[in-house]
Each structure stands twice: as C-alpha cells, then as structure tokens.
Structure 1
Amino acid sequence: MRTCILVSALHYPALHASHSGIWVSERGVTREVSRGEAIRLAADTPVILLNAALVGQRLGYADLSGLDLLELFAFLHPARFMVPTPKGLAAVTGLDMPADDAHVAPFLLAAAERLLDVPAGDWRERDGAWTALQSLTRLRWAWAPPLGSRVAKPSSQERWLFTRLPEWSEAPPRPAPRTVTMPEGAVLDRLEELTGEGAEPRAGQQRFAAAASAAFAPRTLRDSPNLMLAEAGTGIGKTLGYLAPASLWAEAAGGAVWISTYTKALQRQLGAETRRVYPDEAVRRERVVTRKGRENYLCLLNLEDALQGGFAGRAAVLAQLVARWAAYSADGDMVGGDLPGWLPTLFRRNGSTALTDRRGECVYAGCPHYRKCFIERAARASAEADLVIANHAFVMVNAARGRETATRPTRYVFDEGHHLFDAADAMFGVALTGAETIELRRWIVGPEGTSRGRRRGLQARLSDLASYDEQGGAAVADIVAAAGALAADGWLGRLGEGAPFGPVEKLLAAVRGLTYARAEQPGDAGYALETELAEPSPELIEAAAPAAAALDALVRPMVALGKRLETVLADAPDWMDAPARARIEGAIASLGWRAETVAAWLALLSRIGGPADPAFVDWLAVDRAEGREYDIGLHRRWLDPTKPFAETVLKPAHGALVTSATLTAGGDWATAEARVGATHLLRPADRFEVASPFDYASHAEVLIVTDVKRGDVPQLANAYARLIEAAGGGTLGLFTAIRRLRAVHARVADRLAREGLPLHAQHVDPIDTGTLVDIFRDDPHASLLGTDALRDGVDVPGDSLRLVVMEGVPWPKPTVLHAARRLAGGGSAYDDRIVRARLAQAFGRLIRRQDDAGAFVLLSAAMPSRLLDAFPPGVPIRRLTLDEAAARVAERLSTRARIGHGAHLPA
C-alpha cells in the first residue's frame, strides 16, 4: 500500500539543467533534451527539480516552477542547512552522489522519495507541520498533495508558532563592570583551556593573547581608551588569542565584551568558535549573543500579516515556510543566521524583505508579539551576556542611535579591523536622494494611491495623541503637511519628462541636469554618473533654497513632536494604555534619528552656493544600472570618517583591541593608526605585530601573466578558462567590475562544465553569496567568480581553494570621493596603499592553514614592481606568459595530487 502511495505521489518527471546539458528522467528512462523541449515540459507538467531559480535561469525560463526539493527540505527540516547541490542533497538523504550530470535527474526522484519518508520516522520537527500543511494546501503548494497522505493529524492541538515561541523577561539593570587586572599567567592558562588538552603551544598565539589583554586594563584617562592595535598573520590563531582575555575579563569584571567583525559570514564563524569557551550549549546561549541590525531579523507582526492574507501567490508560500523556520530558529536572524540563505532566493522578489522591519515602523511594546520579539530578546540577552558578537556597522549604529544607553559596552574587540574605515565611511555618510526622501515620506504619510500592506502613516500611529493632546496633534499635522514637499511615487518618471513636482523633486531635477552636463562622456556605458558639488549651476542654486525651506518646515515640528511625546509619557494620562504608550515610545525612537537625518540634509544643502567644509566631501550623482536610472541626489562623506567613529565609539570605551592579519598592509603603523581612528585619541595606541607561521615561500607562488591584453574580454575569458582547467577547479576568480565578471562567466561556463568543472558566480547565479561560498567549499572541482565581498571575506581551507586569479591590478575607482582622499593622502602613494591592501587580502584567501598550498595569478602585464611587497616575504614571484602559467599551475597541482596534502611547490 505504501508503495502505491509513493508511485502516485511521484508520477512527475525530474528535470536537471547544468551548463553541460539538460536531462529529464521519467518512468525509469533518462534522456537528454533540448532547452526548448525542457521548457515545454516544465510549462505543461510539474517537474521535480533542485533549485528552481537556478534551473530557470539556465533554461532562460524565469517563470519555471515545480516541485523544488529545496522547498520540501525547508518544510521538513526548518532551521537546518543543506548545500543546495546534488552533492549536498546526497549528504542529507544518505544517498550515493550521482556520478555525473546525466545521473542527477533519476537521483532527484530517489531523493524525493527519501525526503517524503521523513514524516514516517523519528521526525523532530513534526510539531506544527500538520497545521502549516493545511495552509500550504489551500495555497496549492506543489508538495502539499504528496505530503498530505504522510503528515498525520496530531491527536491534540499543535503548539504553533505564536504559542511555541518563548517569552523574554525583564531583568534588573546590570551593575557597571568591576575594575580588575588580569595577570599574564591567567590569560595564558585560559588560552591553554581553549586550545584543548594536548594541543601544541604556539608561541605567536601566546604572545598575541598577552598583548591583547592590554585592552582590558583599567582606563586612566577620560575619553581615551586603552587601544591596542595588533597585526597577527594568518594562522596565528588570533580568534582564540583574544577570546582568552575577553572571556576572562568578562567573568572577573562582570561586564560584556563586544566582539565586532566586518561581515555577517564572519559573525557566524566567530559564533562557532565560542563553543570552545562555553562547550555546554545551554550555557553558551546565555553567555554568547549575536547582534545585528533590526533589518536582519524576522518581524513577527509582519509575518502575522503575511499569514493572514497580506501575501498572495508564491510570497504566501514563502511566509508559511518562514513561519515553520521561525518556530525552530535559535534567534530569528534571516540574514546569516539559521534560515538557509537559498530559501528567499527561490521566491525571487516575492516578499522576504517585507518580513523584516526595514522601514523603522516598529511599535515596540504595542506589538502583540513584543514579549516574543526576536530583536528585543537579543537586546535583553546581550545586556546579560559575557560576549556579544556584532558587526562594525551595528556597533556604530548602536553607539550613535541605540536605545540601550544604560548597557553600552566598555570593552571592544574589532576583528578584521582594516575594514573599520570603510564601515565608518558608510555609517556616517549623508545621502539626500530621491530614494531616501520618498522613504521618509512613506514613513510619515503612509500608503498613497495603490500602495498596500500593513504600513501606516505617522498620524494613524499616533491617533490617540492627536485626539488627546492639542499641541502634539498639531505637530503631527504639520509634519504630514510638510512631507508633501518630499519626492512622491513616480518621481523618476516625472524627472525624466522634465516635469518635477514640489521643491525636493525640482532640486533633484537640477542635480540630474548638472550631473549629466558635467559627467556624461561619449560612449558612456550607462553606469553611474557623478560630479563635484563645486561651482553649482544657477538652476541648482535656485532650487536649493525652496528645498531647504521645505526641509526646515519638516524638521521643526519633528523636533517639537519628539519633545511633546516625552512630556506626554511623563504625564501618563489615564487613557494611555500599553499599546498607546508603545506607539509613542516607538515614535520617539524613530523621530529622533529621522530628525537628525533631515538636519544633515539641511547642512548639505547649505553647501550649495556657499563655502566648502574641508571636513567633508560633497558630490552630485545619478545612479544607473545598465542605462536605467534608479536614484538621483546629493552625497556627503567625511574626508576622515574615523573622526566620528572615534567620538561615538572609541572615546566612551575603556578599552579596545583592533586586530587583523593585514592591519598595516599597504602602509605602515602610522597609516594603520589613521585608518582606525587612533590619531583622534589623547592616549597613543599600543602596537603589536606577529608574523604568520606559514611557510609561504614553499607553499605558494605568485604568477604575473604578461600577454593578456587589458580590456580584451575574449582574451580574459580564455585565460580564466585555461587556468581553471589546469587547476582542475578549486579556483577563486576575482574581478573589479561586475560587467566583466558576467561577460567572462557567459563565455566559459559551458566550456568548463563539459570538462566536469562547475562554475558559480556572484551577481550571476540567483544564490546569495554565503551559499555560493558553501557550494564552493563543498566541491573541490568547483570554481567561483566574484568581486570585493569574496576578496575580503572568504575562508575556504583545503583543496577547495588552491588557485586565486585576479583579472588585473585592483586600482581604486576614480570617484569624486576617492580623488579628494587621494589628494589629502599623498597622491599616488595613497593609491599604492589601497592596492597593496587589496592584493594582500586577495592573497590571504589562498593559504588558510598549515598544509594548504596553491598559486596566485594576476592577469596584468602592467603590475608595477613597487607593489610586489604586498605579498609575504619570500614568496616566489614570476612574470610569464599564459601558456607558461597554465603549465605551471597544472604541474604544481599534479605534484600536489601525487604526494598529498602539505606538498611543497616544485622548484
């Protein structure tokens, strides 16, 4: 009987498409088909496949749908990850890996049967499944019919999402950290505990741990923390090196140490490392908390709206699968947490961003799910934690705008500290653009025209105040009226037609006209345009004054309303119940930083026609993608963004460790101090340096290819293909331009696939970057193409990454901002420092552990010899032709394959 059910449930064919071909398996027969036949089949019959978005892209059929095994896995095993490839599917189902692409389609049928058998066994994620399946059946989810006969109705009512989630509880304020000192011996003893019994002591790691403890010494000067800058080469073990003094200080002082990284992927890696500090999972959940921006977490109120009909079609299916995940998630983190990164990409643009609070509309305690809110739970847990794992952007936002003033950390560790400058640059910048102003208008006014969703305007959120408090109600009315001057829906079209409406749109039209007049060049490829905000045109000067008046009319009642709301809360009238108080508290929190934003816009507008402020760089920009405009506006950045970083983050702290493997890369210690804000402190920073223990001279080499013409895409593509073929995969290809990455991928993907060498690409494959790296790491024959995010944040030890290829010297893009910093930073020497740092970071992807070996190839005959010191001392550097480079790579890899891991390179 069970077999009959299985056959009737899986009477659909399976479809697999790769760059090497397309196969269909049906009724025990597998055949290769054409693209047209595959599209016709998929259009007429639901098919079983793996990653519909990727298969649809390869077929050129964006609307492809069917029975996606990734969706089935997400339903059966929420909050679990699988690599979304046949190999990954084989690992989670216990099946043998298909031998080649031709065997994948029948393998998908077997994997579907194995997954559908899960409910019959010991299924730990059973709770809530039947309830969710009823909703998915109504939504006509493709997997609902075969699952319906296998997921039994529970004998009693299930604990579903909103009853299953635990509530957080309030705790008394945490006392200020005690003043403690840590003997070096205690720090080294803790390090020995973390590295494990019997581990061979590493002198470099011990020296690093001892030096890092200086950041935890008692502070002696106000507004001047104990700042330690520590450059620790790859392989030193700096994570455990700073976790030893950090965890020891947290226990002894009773305070929290915030450990900040640059990317969410690095946050995840660091979270895994803390298991050495707290092996017991229950203890670790209490002592270690990960913090990110609000926009990363699932909003339960938005999810409830989606489940109750706010979403339709495929977006509604996504909401149900996310709800399944939320019931089992550790922290509700949708970006880099335990939600599989591939899940939202399966639904393209259908709703994943609408499930988070990206618009600052949280009503805090007024939300019916406030006591179960993931964001509030993380905030309260971090107040009691020993270690808080954050990222640079969140640390800066929390220091500048955070509500948790009573629990601000006094000790920081900034890992990947060479990125602090870039993070501060983004955080403290100002953008008066159409996209920013229309977002503010929507927050104030609410839905307009055909807009739908839960979004409500400021007046609706504060209706109780308007009816009770005359002054507050008048201020709300003034804000809503003033918001009418901001850009509105359709503004880009009106600017294109020369018919802007309102003072802000007229300002943007003047910005657009002047930018095109000064920046567009003959043969322009349709990408972004920008020009300095200098010698403004009469039209721009004329438009600036009305726009400034409109923004001033907006910010004044915003400030007045904030003050009035604080007064109303203090008076606590009888009518104010908890939801009303929550709406007001939420409005105060949001009004504050929005008023600061408008004030910053006004300061930027005052620059038009006035003197330049030497502390800032101002410019005009028209943002375009492939010729299509998507934003227009004025921009302002600090010439030195570490100045506000030092004021808001470093000076209030008592101690900070800034560490990286490439902290001084591209320069010297003076450069490193300037890049992290140390020069703005009274107390000079301490310095520490320890070299990598790796034998780079024996395990790596740099090959500079001299006969690939710059800008010649066919030659570039041929070079990448030949080098990847010579290496047998395992290649990370790095590009400085997305356009060239896509062009190279289009030319070589099919060619490599025919050789059994999968090629994946950022900005091409409909897969998030973190999952692309997981796929790359899982398959030593795969290669990955990408840009800056892969140059700086990839940790792939072993044979999966044995060759790094860069398309050319990574010169900085000649923007207005770069030109200003170049002028202030020493001209060409400034460019050289940037290139050295980028080369050092790219080379650092290659050797990640003691037994790694590989080659770094630079496709540039114009590589200046003065920049070769970016690579570790002693690494062999050769200039040679592409033929010679390909032969060299093949020789090295064949030798390594013969004698195994840890092989030295041939002489």
Structure 2
Amino acid sequence: MAPYDIVQRYNAILHNHPSGDIKPSYQDMEYAKFLQKQGIGFFITNNGADKLNTVTPPVVIFKNKKINEEEIREVLSPNGVLSKNKEDFEFREGQIEMSIEVAKSFNDNRIAILEAGTGTGKSLAYLIPAYLWAKKNNERVVISTNTINLQSQILNKDIPIVKKILNSDINAVLIKGRKNYLCKLKLLNLQSELEFERDNREMNEILNWAQNSSTGCVDELSYIPNNNVWDKVSSDNDFCVGRRCSFYESCFLQISRRKASESNILIVNHHILFADIEIRSLGKGLDENLLLPPYRKIIFDEAHNIEKSANSFFTNQFSKSGFYKFIANYRVKSGKSFLSSIANKFLKSGIQEIEKISVTISEDINNSFNLLNASSFEIFEKINDYIKNILDKKEYFLRNGSINNLQYRIRKEEWLSREFNDYLIEPLSILGKNIGQFNKSYGLLCDSLDSLSEKVAAKYEFDIKIIKAFQNKIETFQSSITALLNSSPDDNAAWFDIFGKPEDPLFTLNVSPVNIGQILKDKLYDVFDSIVFTSATLSVDNKFNFFKNITGLSLVNNKTITEKIYDSPFDYLTQVLFVSPVDIPEPNSYYYNDKLNEYLKDTIEETGGSTFVLFTSYNQLQKSYSDVAPYLEKIGLRSYYQGEMQKEKLLDSFKNDISSNLFATDSFWEGVDAPGDTLKYVVLTKLPFRMPNEPIEEAKIEDIQKKGLNPFNDYTLPKAVIRFKQGFGRLIRTKKDYGIVALLDSRVLTKSYGKLFFRSLPRCKFASGNSGEMKKEIAQHLKDMSDK
C-alpha cells in the first residue's frame, strides 16, 4: 500500500485486492480513517479493475498556502540565515527583491519576467521561494534551463545551500531525456548477439560498464560514446513496452521517474519540458504522470533561449539517411538485424509453432520489406532529381569533396507548385503509404505471436517483446511523414539542408513554425498557474517588448505579467574598460580581415593573452586564427579554436593555461564561465546580427513585414542587442574580475542604431580612437587594476 508521504500529494488512494474481495480489511479501515482526516479518499479495486468499493470519498479541496514576504527577508537580509551559513555571503538588494517577486508570482498565479544582472544571485533568488512553496503546499516546481552547466550548478552548488538554510528535506531531481539511459531489454537483445559484433570494442566497454552501473546514465561513462553505438542500447520510446517489460521494476529510466515522482523540485532542460507540455496539450491534462510528474509552477532560467528552443522542438524533419537507418532495423536477410537473428533462432527451436513464425518473418515480412526498400529507390531518385536541380541553380561550397551546409528555402509558391508536388510531396506520400503497408504485414506477425501457447510464449518472452516493440517505431516514423506533409506553408518555414556528395546528395527536409508565440500561449501560458522567466539578458533598452513579442507573451490577456530588471551589483565603471577602435573598416570591407588580425596581434600581445575572441561566423574565425595564432605562438602565447576538441575539454584547456587564448563562435557567446585571471580580454569581432538568409530568420522577417512592422528595428536589431549583451557578459563573472571588452565593428559608432547597443550595457569606462591609442588605453587599465 502506498505510504503517506506519497499519498499526501493526491486527493485519493486506489488500493488493489488481488483476491477479488474488495471489502476493506481492519488495516484498510484504519488507514482510510487516518486519510479521511486529511481529506484524502480511499478506494479498493480488484486486479481487473472492474469492481470498485468507495471506503471514504475525498472531502477536501486543498487551498494553497502563500509564501510570506518576511520569510524571504529572514533568509536573504544582511543578518539573515544565509549570511550565517555562507562564508562568502554578500548582501544583494536585487536578490531579495527578485525572490519576493518570484513568491508573488506563485502566490497570485502570475507570469513574471525578471532580468537579473550577473552577480545578482538569481539561482538562490528563485530556489528559495520554490522550496518554500513546495514545503507549504506539497506541490511540485519545475526549473528549466538551457545548458547542462547551469543544471549542474543548481543541483550541486545552490540546492545544498538552500536545503541547509531552510532546514529542508525536499530533494531535487535532475530529469534527463530517456536517450540518456541504458535499456536493459535492448541490452539483452545485444547479449543474445542481435546486432552485436564481438569485435566492437566500444560496445564491449558499454556492456562491461552496464553490469556495475548504478544509474544506467550515459554520464557515468568516462567518454562520449558514438551515437550509433549508444542508440543500440539506449532507452527508446518506440521500443519501450512499459509495464509489460520484464525489467520494468529495475529499469533505469523508471527508477529515475519514480525518484521524480517522490520529489517536489524538478530540474529539466527546455526540450524535455516542451515535450511534456506538448503531450499534456493533446488531452492528457495537468494531473497525469507523463514525461514529468504533475506540476503547475514553472521557472525558466536562461529564458532568452525560449524562442529558439521552442522552434527547435516544434520543427518536423525528414531525411533520406534517417529513412535508411530506420528500415535497417527490419532487414531480414542481412544477418545483422534483430529480425534476422530472431528468425534464425526460431528456425532452430524444434518447436513447430515457433518455426512457423520464423517462416513468416523470412517470407512475408522479408517480401514486404523488399517491396518497401525497392520502392524507396525510385522515390529517392525522384527527390534527388529535384535536389540536383537546386544545386544546378544555387551556389554552394565544397569541403573535402562534400557540400558544405547548404540551406535552401522552400517558399509557399514552390511548396504549392506542381513540380514540388510531383517530385517531393507525392513521392513522400507514396513512401508513407508503403510504410503503412509494411506496418500491416508487421502487425500480422505481432498478431500471430499472440496466438502462441502459453508455455512457448513464456520461453520466448524477450524475443516476442522485442518484435512487438519495433512495431511502435514503424507507426512513429509513418506519423512523422504525415505530420510534415500536412504542414501549412502559410504558418511554417520550410527548407532543405543539403549535404554529402554533389553527385548523390543527402538532404533533410525541415518544417518549422514561424510564429512560435501562439503555440506557447495555447500550450503554456493559458494552462499553467505560474511561470517565471529569468536571465541576465532579456531586455533591450531596458524594455521587455522584444522578448514578449517573440515568445507570445504579448498575446496573454488573462494573466498579470510582472516585469522587473535587477541591476548587477558589480562595479563595472571601475572593473571594465570598453574600447571601440575607429580605424577598423566595416566588416564588409576588403581591408577588414587584415586590419582585424593586425589589431588582434597587437592587443593580445599587450594583455599577455587570457583572451576570448568571439566571431559571428566560423569562416572568419578560421581566417583570423590561421593568421593570428602562429604570431602569438612565437611570443609564447598558446591559442585554441572552437572545433579543435570537444567543448568542455576546450574550455578546461583554456582555463588551465592562464595566458592562452580562445577563438570561438556562436555557442561561446553565452553560458561559458572563465572567472579569475584566465580571462582578462574579450574581443567581439563584429556586431552579432543573424544572417538574414537563414530560412527561419528570413521567414520571420517576412512575417513581420506583413504585419506592417520594421523587420530590422523590431526583430534583427533587438536580437543582435541580446546577443551582444551575452558576449559582453563573458568578462565579469565575480566581483574580483576585471578586464577589457573590445568591439571591432565601427558601425556601432557610425550608425544611428549603435547607441542602442551601448544603452543596453551596464555603465563602464569607454574609450574610442585609433588602434594604437586603444592599445595604450588597454595597457593603462590593466596597470591600474593590478595596482589595486
């Protein structure tokens, strides 16, 4: 029977009597009386769930207990509980104010947009009211982030402090996607030599690790496994048979979910949260235990990534390589697929009804597979003709003989054209139908398994479950094609990613919603009680209009939205020198590259390294690195570049070599911390405007134009300002940090919009002049700070 610490979260308990006698026992009655006092109902059912005895009905609807503002002040005030339990405690007025605002959003079911400057202590500011709410109301709070680094900080650094100062026994659980967990049924499949080659060293290492793993999580491995290898053993929704699995009770994923059900603080990433929200929007409601257990309060940290994360999640995709990877699972005659191995095993069983199944696989399923496989050649040949026609008309670049990341936008007129219909829509529709036909044959195989005698079915239980699990994959793949083809060109952006050899190109067809805001309003803002958005970079010119517009918050009219900015407590005016040389030409100039590289050599030599050089394109990064790095090497300064090694290892190498330099692009503009002497100089080589020819960006800009707005002022510019703030924020991470930020894009000085970038930064020292003068200013600032 469920213990009270679990039952108390619900309105009623359903107790099973396997005997079929649903009369309450003495113990049942005693427990029911106890629960009745708490307003919790008690019901008894049988194994078939066709009988129900209401012992005591639920009688109380719980009313939420609000967080008192004074509770927060008692913790975060200058002489509060936190000050007595944290050695490096510093009182921060913004932290108290933010924490109170989070509490108000929980108390009054509000939406809150809270920008907290670096050093505010925003994690503790929202964790304290989250823990107070969870304790008072026995209600779950979900904290969603964009990066693993922040999740690790919250779980391992911040939450232990919060639990200590609040004397709380509430555990927080980090929820990871199911792909992170080992599947024991798949593992058995491999150990039975299904899909497993004995000379596969990496697979052997995983199998050895699996025998002693306590969590089955990929993070336990000392290396990052190859995706194709990990796919063979990782948990998979299509493969999962749920409670019918013999490993259900010991399943690593299910154990993690049970821990989540027992916790009131859940830490997730944006993608998992959107996946759970999407399932709930399809009719599952807020009280079901789905990817996540039930919750009504959400805190989005790193909220500036919400639009991007939501767009990514709601994008439908289809690829040629993905299709062939999918059907490889069902290739009977290959000798390596799971079906081939099972058919051979069944054939040697000596049991007539099992041998008959083997014949069904070898003949019926194989024939159906061959029809699907053969038809795909003609289908993809037709699609390839269309792709090659694109390559004939559009300029592209080769890297090592392969097409280098070509994106081709499919506009509405093209999507609706006869040619696109004949060469893409119709072939993919036929492919979807052919997959459906294959599914029918496969379904007959599954039906025949149900007619096996009980003794034989028990003997081959695992094989039967594996065969049935793979039917889910067929249905999911077919559904994804249908969803993609049913997408409206009025509401979505469509494009090809084209890669591979020009003579036989590969492609991914993408369809992504242009207006993610309406989706978020319908599935998120109108559904959940309280939502807090926080980040150090949400506002533009001290306003949240842009953030509200791109996330759909501007559409909300049935909830109060609170907007607050909490300034950083750091002394930027003393700590930071911002320089902007006037003699570096605009980025589109022929002379820009040479002048840029010359400036980098001179100023990095002056700082003695310890530099981030942030680019907006990998192409420019390569051109600068190839010229600047050898020069710096000669004077004893090591330089790294993004792509040289895995990101975490690259950052560790940079931190460990204090005088080293790191040349990086997109992902290093945010979420990267290098406090202390390891980073003294951040160079922003260019204002971070997104490329307007990226398909989704292009579609959003066109949509803004249709609404009568200015695409540059209302979208491109504010998006660049947010990115600019993120790049600037890499320098100062603690109160002891100091250094220089340089912007090598003269447009910030010559264009009218330049002032907007400056107004969005904290006030700091500023210098502008020729490169030589900037070099002197840099030297003086470093001297002044080192003397202090």
Whether the TM-score (by the shorter chain) exceeds 0.5 is yes
Match of residue 673 from structure 1: 548
Equivalent residue letter for 1:249: W
Match of residue 541 from structure 1: 421
Match of residue 217 from structure 1: 107
Query: Cα–Cα, structure 1 residues 726 and 446, in superposed 2: closer, same or farther, change >3 Å?
Result: farther
Match of residue 554 from structure 1: 435
2:484–2:511 Cα contact (<8 Å) kept: no
Query: Cα–Cα, structure 1 residues 574 and 188, in superposed 2: closer, same or farther, change >3 Å?
Result: farther
Equivalent residue letter for 2:764: V
Q: 2:125 aligns with which of 225, 241, 250?
A: 241
Match of residue 599 from structure 2: 719
Give the 5 Å matches for 1:682-721: 682-684=557-559, 685-709=561-585, 710=587, 713-721=593-601
Task: Using the TM superposition, give the Cα deviation of residue 564 of structure 1 relative to its aligned residue in structure 2, in angstroms.
Answer: 13
1:247–1:387 Cα contact (<8 Å) kept: yes
Counterparts of 1:302 and 1:478 in 2: how far apart (Å)?
A: 25
Counterparts of 1:722 and 1:586 in 2: how far apart (Å)?
A: 62
Counterparts of 2:118 and 2:771 in 1: how far apart (Å)?
A: 29
2:387–2:505 Cα contact (<8 Å) kept: no
Query: Cα–Cα, structure 1 residues 674 and 350, in superposed 2: closer, same or farther, change >3 Å?
Result: closer
Query: Cα–Cα, structure 1 residues 303 and 561, in superposed 2: closer, same or farther, change >3 Å?
Result: closer
Counterparts of 1:844 and 1:752 in 2: how far apart (Å)?
A: 25
Counterparts of 1:374 and 1:743 in 2: how far apart (Å)?
A: 47
Q: 2:70 aligns with which of 176, 185, 196?
A: 185
Q: 1:375 aligns with which of 253, 256, 259?
A: 253
Task: Using the TM superposition, give the Cα deviation of residue 817 of structure 1 relative to its aligned residue in structure 2, in angstroms.
Answer: 1.9
Task: Using the TM superposition, give the Cα deviation of residue 201 of structure 1 relative to its aligned residue in structure 2, in angstroms.
Answer: 3.1
1:761–1:784 Cα contact (<8 Å) kept: yes
Equivalent residue letter for 1:397: A
Give the 5 Å matches for 1:588-667: 590=473, 593-604=476-487, 613-623=489-499, 631-665=506-540
> Alignment length, in residue pairs?
688
Task: Using the TM superposition, give the Cα deviation of residue 600 of structure 1 relative to its aligned residue in structure 2, in angstroms.
Answer: 1.2
Match of residue 85 from structure 1: none
Match of residue 777 from structure 1: 655
1:869 aligns with 2:756: yes
Match of residue 275 from structure 1: 160
SS of structure 2 residue aligned to 1:634: strand
Match of residue 417 from structure 1: 303
- Does 295-304 or 580-589 show the bigger shift? 580-589
Match of residue 881 from structure 1: 770
Q: 1:837 aligns with which of 712, 722, 740?
A: 722
SS of structure 1 residue aligned to 2:554: helix
Task: Using the TM superposition, give the Cα deviation of residue 210 of structure 1 relative to its aligned residue in structure 2, in angstroms.
Answer: 0.5
Q: 2:91 aligns with which of 186, 201, 206?
A: 201
Counterparts of 2:271 and 2:341 in 1: how far apart (Å)?
A: 28
SS of structure 2 residue aligned to 1:847: coil
2:495–2:510 Cα contact (<8 Å) kept: yes
Task: Using the TM superposition, give the Cα deviation of residue 431 of structure 1 relative to its aligned residue in structure 2, in angstroms.
Answer: 1.8
Amino-acid identity (%): 21
Match of residue 139 from structure 1: none
SS of structure 1 residue aligned to 2:527: coil
SS of structure 2 residue aligned to 1:407: coil
Counterparts of 1:865 and 1:476 in 2: how far apart (Å)?
A: 72
Equivalent residue letter for 1:856: V
Question: TM-score, with normalisation over the residues of structure 1?
Answer: 0.66
Give the 5 Å matches for 1:428-827: 428-443=314-329, 445-446=330-331, 449=334, 452=336, 502=377, 504-520=379-395, 526-536=404-414, 538-543=418-423, 544-554=425-435, 579=462, 583=466, 586=469, 590=473, 593-604=476-487, 613-623=489-499, 631-665=506-540, 668-684=543-559, 685-709=561-585, 710=587, 713-763=593-643, 765-766=644-645, 768-813=646-691, 814-825=693-704, 826-827=710-711
SS of structure 1 residue aligned to 2:163: coil
Task: Using the TM superposition, give the Cα deviation of residue 660 of structure 1 relative to its aligned residue in structure 2, in angstroms.
Answer: 0.9
Counterparts of 2:254 and 2:406 in 1: how far apart (Å)?
A: 39
Counterparts of 1:460 and 1:180 in 2: how far apart (Å)?
A: 63
Match of residue 259 from structure 1: 143
Query: Cα–Cα, structure 1 residues 573 and 367, in superposed 2: closer, same or farther, change >3 Å?
Result: closer
Counterparts of 2:207 and 2:95 in 1: how far apart (Å)?
A: 42
Counterparts of 2:576 and 2:278 in 1: how far apart (Å)?
A: 44
Task: Using the TM superposition, give the Cα deviation of residue 251 of structure 1 relative to its aligned residue in structure 2, in angstroms.
Answer: 1.6
Task: Using the TM superposition, give the Cα deviation of residue 701 of structure 1 relative to its aligned residue in structure 2, in angstroms.
Answer: 2.6
* Uncovered stretches (5+) of structure 1, i.e. residues with no partner: 1-168, 220-225, 489-499, 605-611, 900-907
1:482–1:553 Cα contact (<8 Å) kept: no
Task: Using the TM superposition, give the Cα deviation of residue 755 of structure 1 relative to its aligned residue in structure 2, in angstroms.
Answer: 3.1
Task: Using the TM superposition, give the Cα deviation of residue 842 of structure 1 relative to its aligned residue in structure 2, in angstroms.
Answer: 0.5
1:555–1:599 Cα contact (<8 Å) kept: no
Query: Cα–Cα, structure 1 residues 662 and 618, in superposed 2: closer, same or farther, change >3 Å?
Result: same
SS of structure 2 residue aligned to 1:530: strand
Counterparts of 1:202 and 1:857 in 2: how far apart (Å)?
A: 29
Task: Using the TM superposition, give the Cα deviation of residue 834 of structure 1 relative to its aligned residue in structure 2, in angstroms.
Answer: 1.3
Deviations 1:34-93, CA, capped at 9 Å, x for gaps: xxxxxxxxxxxxxxxxxxxxxxxxxxxxxxxxxxxxxxxxxxxxxxxxxxxxxxxxxxxx
2:331–2:366 Cα contact (<8 Å) kept: no
Query: Cα–Cα, structure 1 residues 552 and 208, in superposed 2: closer, same or farther, change >3 Å?
Result: same
SS of structure 1 residue aligned to 2:747: coil
Query: Cα–Cα, structure 1 residues 573 and 325, in superposed 2: closer, same or farther, change >3 Å?
Result: closer
Counterparts of 1:215 and 1:562 in 2: how far apart (Å)?
A: 50
1:228–1:687 Cα contact (<8 Å) kept: yes
Deviations 1:743-797, CA, capped at 9 Å, x for gaps: 333333343334332222221x23x212222332333222222222111111222
Counterparts of 1:780 and 1:671 in 2: how far apart (Å)?
A: 38
Q: 2:732 aligns with which of 833, 842, 847?
A: 847
Counterparts of 1:358 and 1:262 in 2: how far apart (Å)?
A: 22
Counterparts of 1:590 and 1:196 in 2: how far apart (Å)?
A: 55
Equivalent residue letter for 1:772: L
Equivalent residue letter for 1:252: K
Query: Cα–Cα, structure 1 residues 890 and 686, in superposed 2: closer, same or farther, change >3 Å?
Result: same
Equivalent residue letter for 1:615: D
Query: Cα–Cα, structure 1 residues 381 and 523, in superposed 2: closer, same or farther, change >3 Å?
Result: closer
Equivalent residue letter for 1:736: T
Deviations 1:261-315, CA, capped at 9 Å, x for gaps: 11122222222221212359x998x7121112223334556667778984666x6
Match of residue 157 from structure 1: none
Match of residue 45 from structure 2: none
SS of structure 2 residue aligned to 1:515: helix
Deviations 1:81-130, CA, capped at 9 Å, x for gaps: xxxxxxxxxxxxxxxxxxxxxxxxxxxxxxxxxxxxxxxxxxxxxxxxxx
Task: Using the TM superposition, give the Cα deviation of residue 426 of structure 1 relative to its aligned residue in structure 2, in angstroms.
Answer: 0.5
Equivalent residue letter for 2:324: I
Equivalent residue letter for 1:719: Y
Query: Cα–Cα, structure 1 residues 432 and 308, in superposed 2: closer, same or farther, change >3 Å?
Result: closer
Match of residue 172 from structure 2: 288
Query: Cα–Cα, structure 1 residues 299 and 196, in superposed 2: closer, same or farther, change >3 Å?
Result: farther
* Uncovered stretches (5+) of structure 2, i.e. residues with no partner: 12-61, 281-287, 348-352, 705-709
SS of structure 2 residue aligned to 1:278: helix
1:232–1:690 Cα contact (<8 Å) kept: yes
Task: Using the TM superposition, give the Cα deviation of residue 257 of structure 1 relative to its aligned residue in structure 2, in angstroms.
Answer: 1.4
Deviations 1:806-841, CA, capped at 9 Å, x for gaps: 221212112232122113333211211111111011
Equivalent residue letter for 1:760: Y
1:642–1:675 Cα contact (<8 Å) kept: yes
1:320 aligns with 2:231: no
